[in-house]
Amino acid sequence: MLTLYMVPGHGLVPSLSPPCAKLEAWLRLASIPYVVGTSTPGEAPKRKFPYVLDQGHLIGDATLLLGHLRRRFGVDPDSHLGPVERAVALATRRMLKEHFYWVLVYGRWVPEAGYAQYLDLLSDALPHALPREVRRDIVASFREPMLRQLDAQGLGRHSADEVAALGAEDLDVLATQLGSREFFFGDQPSTLDVTAYASLTNVIDVAVDSPIKVAALAHANLVAHTRRMQARYFPERTAPTSAEKS
Cβ atoms of 128 and 87 within 8 Å: the answer is no
**Whether residue 165 sits in one domain with residue 127:** yes
CA distance 229 to 182: 10
**Whether residue 102 sits in one domain with residue 37:** no
CA distance 134 to 124: 11
**Whether residue 127 sits in one domain with residue 233:** yes
Show the domain range for 64: 2-73
**Residue 38 sits in a domain of what CATH number?**
3.40.30.10
**Whether residue 129 sits in one domain with residue 31:** no
**Whether residue 151 sits in one domain with residue 102:** yes
**Whether residue 95 sits in one domain with residue 23:** no
pLDDT tens sequence across 185-206: 999 999 999 999 999 999 999 9
Cβ atoms of 59 and 65 within 8 Å: the answer is yes
**Residue 177 sits in a domain of what CATH number?**
1.20.1050.10
**Whether residue 12 sits in one domain with residue 65:** yes
pLDDT tens sequence across 109-138: 999 999 999 999 999 999 888 899 999 999
**Whether residue 232 sits in one domain with residue 196:** yes
- φ, ψ of residue 4 in degrees (nearest 5): -100, 130
Q: What is the pTM of this model?
A: 0.94
pLDDT the model gives residue 83: 98
Peptide bond into 145 cis (omega under 30): no
Residue 175 lies in a domain: yes
Domain count across the chain:
2
CA distance 235 to 56: 30
Q: What is the pLDDT along the chain (246 residues), one digit of tens a residue?
A: 899 999 999 999 999 999 999 999 999 999 999 999 988 777 888 888 999 999 999 999 999 999 999 999 999 999 999 999 999 999 999 999 999 999 999 999 999 999 999 999 999 999 888 899 999 999 999 999 999 999 999 999 999 999 999 999 999 999 999 999 999 999 999 999 999 999 999 999 999 999 999 999 999 999 999 999 999 999 998 655 444 444
**Whether residue 138 sits in one domain with residue 38:** no
Residue 78 lies in a domain: no
